[in-house]
């Protein structure tokens, strides 16, 4: 049987094996030297005069073979290497260096140059782990659809809000119109024996709103529109309306509080129709209007002899200072009005207007005033009170 020497370790191997049984070197690919023994002779484990496959001196580990076929000594002392193989008889293939299967990494090489077994995992799709399914990406169409839905929702909300606001406005307008219906007046009480003039005729009462109020017959028990009237230093009030002052040279106030305690505007106008009765004294009677704040106020008066006055007053109605005065024509009936517009005060006597500059005032109450310049028991007739803001 032919033997083949490993060019790496120098050990003999069967010529049919592909790798050295000692060191695992590939014999078929390197052209290892094959030794054939003579016919009838037992093959020697080492041929004589076998030339080295490599140039002398190039391979430090190349073995030096002695003459007469004597096997060379092992590269390492016997027993020093646990893995040193034990060789069998001449010509027999050596056993593998490790038991088959004991070492997972030990290769088992097939004989006759057969191919290596396939890898543990052949390259086929059936042996690969399944891939995770990928979620499809949303394209631009999905984003555009979402934006369109948002725009539609916003438009619908705006339309609903507009309808709601329009309906609420119409409802509030209808309620305001219904609350401003004209209220009927009751029968006027008969004038008493103290009355010196006929009772004025009764007309329809204007609407009562947050910015306007009127009373044809001012005074407690005479006004039917809900206002509250409070007299100060007035002896008697007769619906019609006659105001009587019992003391001479004294001034009385008939204060008004709007219905439901509504506040007065700082820019407003109040007015009355007055009818003075003349007396023989030099002072005469005066009818007027007043607006008072927490600490101060203003008073305007027209007197029987044609004199008029504009005063600053205290919160209790006492005269503090005369701001303006003059004289005009005398008359037995007059339309008087007092208007506050910021720093402007206007006093109107019929069509005659007098304007001065004053400090702004926030009124807390308004009043009709009467000054009795003669003896006690003198009276004045006032009707058609009005307040507008």
pLDDT tens digits for range 5-42: 888 888 888 888 888 888 988 886 555 555 555 554 44
| 366 in Cβ contact with 387 (< 8 Å) | yes
pTM: 0.48
Place of tokens 């995770």: 132
Residues 6+ apart with CB under 8 A from 136: none
* Mean pLDDT of all residues in 123-134: 56
Please tell me the predicted confidence (pLDDT) of residue 13.
Answer: 87
H or E, element range at 174:
helix 140-179
Which residue reads 């009043």 in tokens? Answer: 367
Among 77-81, 165-169, 222-226, 252-256, which is the least confidently predicted range?
77-81
Distances (CA, A) of 372 to 19, 109, 292: 149, 145, 21
pLDDT digits (tens, 9 = 90+) for 299-356: 999 998 899 999 999 999 999 999 999 999 988 889 999 999 999 999 999 999 999 9
CA neighbours closer than 13 Å in the CB half-sphere of residue 221: 9
Residue of 170, 133, 287 whose CA lies nearest to 218: 287
Among 42, 30, 38, which Cα is nearest to 4's? 30
Pick from 277, 229, 271, 278: which is nearest to 253 by CA?
A: 229
At residue 30, the pLDDT reads 56
pLDDT tens, residue by residue, 249-262: 889 999 999 999 99
95: pLDDT confidence band, cut at 50, 70 and 90?
A: low
**Three-class SS of residue 291?**
strand
Interatomic CA distance for residues 385 and 273, integer angstroms: 7
Contact status, residue 239 vs residue 347, Cβ threshold 8 Å: no
For residue 80, what pLDDT is reported? 47
**C-alpha dihedral sign at 336, 342, 343, 344:** negative
Instruction: Region of 306 please: left (phi>0), alpha (psi -120 to 50) or beta.
Output: left
Residue 164's contacts (CB-CB under 8 Å, 6 or more residues apart) are: none
| pLDDT on residue 307 | 93
Which two tokens mark 39? 């016919």
The Cα diameter of the chain in Å comes to: 187
- DSSP bridge pairs for 334: 274
Confidence of residue 89 (pLDDT cuts 50, 70, 90): very low
């Amino acid at each position: 049987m032919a033997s083949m020497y490993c060019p790496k370790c120098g050990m003999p191997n069967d010529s049919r094996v592909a790798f050295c049984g000692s060191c695992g070197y590939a014999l078929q690919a390197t052209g290892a030297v094959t030794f054939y023994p003579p016919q009838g002779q037992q093959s020697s484990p080492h041929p004589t005069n076998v030339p080295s496959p490599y140039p002398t001196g190039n391979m430090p580990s190349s073995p030096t073979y002695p003459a007469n076929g004597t096997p060379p000594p092992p590269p390492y002392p016997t027993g020093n290497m646990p893995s040193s193989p034990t060789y069998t008889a001449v010509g027999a293939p050596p056993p593998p260096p490790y038991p088959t299967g004991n070492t997972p990494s030990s290769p088992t090489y097939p004989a006759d140059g057969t191919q290596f077994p396939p890898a543990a995992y052949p390259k086929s799709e059936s042996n690969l782990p399944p891939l995770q399914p990928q979620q499809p990406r949303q394209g631009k169409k999905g984003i555009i659809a979402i934006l369109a839905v948002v725009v539609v929702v916003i438009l619908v909300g705006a339309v609903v809000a507009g309808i709601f606001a329009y309906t609420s406005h119409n409802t509030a307008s209808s309620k305001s119109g219904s609350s401003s219906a004209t209220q009927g007046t009751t029968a006027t009480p008969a004038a008493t024996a103290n009355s010196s003039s006929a009772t004025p005729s009764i007309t329809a009462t204007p609407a009562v709103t947050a910015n306007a109020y009127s009373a044809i017959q001012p005074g407690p028990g005479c006004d039917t529109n809900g206002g509250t009237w409070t007299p100060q230093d007035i002896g008697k009030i007769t619906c019609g309306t006659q105001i009587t002052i019992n003391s001479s040279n004294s001034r009385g106030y008939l204060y008004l509080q709007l219905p439901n305690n509504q506040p007065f505007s700082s820019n407003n106008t109040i007015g009355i129709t007055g009818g003075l009765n003349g007396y023989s004294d030099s002072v005469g009677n005066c009818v007027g209007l007043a607006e008072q704040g927490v600490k101060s106020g203003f008073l305007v008066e027209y007197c029987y002899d044609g004199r008029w006055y504009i005063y600053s007053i205290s919160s209790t109605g006492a005269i503090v200072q005369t701001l303006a005065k003059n004289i005009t024509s005398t008359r037995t009936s007059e339309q008087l009005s007092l208007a506050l517009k910021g720093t402007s005060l206007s006093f109107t006597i019929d069509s005659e207007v007098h304007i001065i500059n004053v400090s702004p005032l926030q009124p807390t109450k308004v009043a009709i005033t009467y000054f009795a310049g003669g003896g006690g028991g003198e009276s004045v007739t006032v009707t058609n009170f009005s307040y507008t803001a």
